[in-house]
Amino acid sequence: MKIIVVDDEQPARERLCRLIRELHGYEVAGEAANGREAIALYTALKPEIVLLDIRMPVMDGLETAQHLSTDETPPAVIFTTAYSDHALEAFNTHAVGYLLKPVRKENLAASLAAARRSTRAQLQAVNDEIGASKARTHLCVHIRGNLELIPVEEIYYFRAEDKYVVLHHRNGQSLIEDSLVKLEEEFSDRFMRIHRNALVAKAEVSGLEQSGAGSALKLKHCEQRLSVSRRHLPTVRHFLKHQSLMS
């Protein structure tokens, strides 16, 4: 079985790789130093198992696992962690595989033999219980069977269209299945509702203009003007007023 090892510390990766090579029936297919690298590596190699550190820069292990779980045939994920007893209880309660650092060969062998896929619900439950950050740093889109990450900081706005939400970002447009309601709740500190079908990144707002059709929002890095509904116009005006006072 193919395995990728994900950990931001090179000595930890080297130790795990060495232990895996001492076990029969497993192959180290690749290594990654953070979650974003892990998604790219997984897309290229499609391993059956991912050994995943939790605390990593760029994108942590729990968020990475949630993105992996959206694949059509997701891998089994085993977390490697040095977390407290409380966190370990969360993994046990929700039947999510983990290994306590420093990893022992016999424990690794047992975990690999019992490896199974984790659902998004299980991963989110663990995430909530150990107090990890709720908001994702990236959104995952599916393109021709592959996973592609869009950094949240590069998203200009979300717009609901039919059954999907279109996210407009630095490199174009992508379809996601998340609802605007869910996105608004998760990213309320970074995005604001301007219409029943649109959320806009606060950092992208540059001004408000009037036209015959009503009010429209101007963005810093996008020529598209976004309609602002009467219901949400007071919120937008308050935001712009606050921004002008802060500048």
- pLDDT digit string, tens, across residues 220-233: 999 889 999 999 99
Instruction: Output the pLDDT for position 159.
Output: 97
In whole angstroms, give the CA distance from residue 51 to residue 111.
10
> Residue 199, Cα to own-chain centre: how many angstroms?
18
Q: What is the mean pLDDT of residues 199-227?
A: 92
Least confident of 54-68, 84-98, 191-205: 84-98
Least confident of 6-20, 71-85, 145-159: 71-85
Instruction: Output the pLDDT for position 10.
Output: 97
The pair of structure tokens assigned to 24 is 């029969």
User: Strands 49-53 and 76-81, how do they pair?
Assistant: parallel
pTM above 0.95, yes or no: no
Model confidence band, residue 162 (pLDDT cutoffs 50, 70, 90):
confident
Residue written as token pair 């890095």: 221
**86 pLDDT above the threshold of 70:** no
**68 pLDDT above the threshold of 90:** yes
Higher pLDDT, 226 or 247: 226
Q: Which of these, 100, 115, 113, lies nearest to 49 by C-alpha position?
A: 115
Higher pLDDT, 89 or 108: 108
Residue type, 153: E
Instruction: Considering only CA atoms, give the Rg of the chain.
Output: 21
Residue written as token pair 């000595």: 11
Least confident of 101-105, 129-133, 153-157: 129-133
Instruction: Output the pLDDT for position 126.
Output: 86
Largest pairwise CA distance in the chain: 72
First-to-final CA distance of the chain: 56
Is the separation of the CB atoms in 130 and 142 below 8 Å? Answer: no
**240 pLDDT above the threshold of 90:** yes
Q: Which of these, 87, 83, 177, 78, lies nearest to 118 by C-alpha position?
A: 78
Residue type, 47: P
Instruction: Output the pLDDT for position 214.
Output: 86
Instruction: Output the pLDDT for position 198.
Output: 97
Cβ neighbours of 51 (radius 10 Å):
32
- N residues, the chain: 247
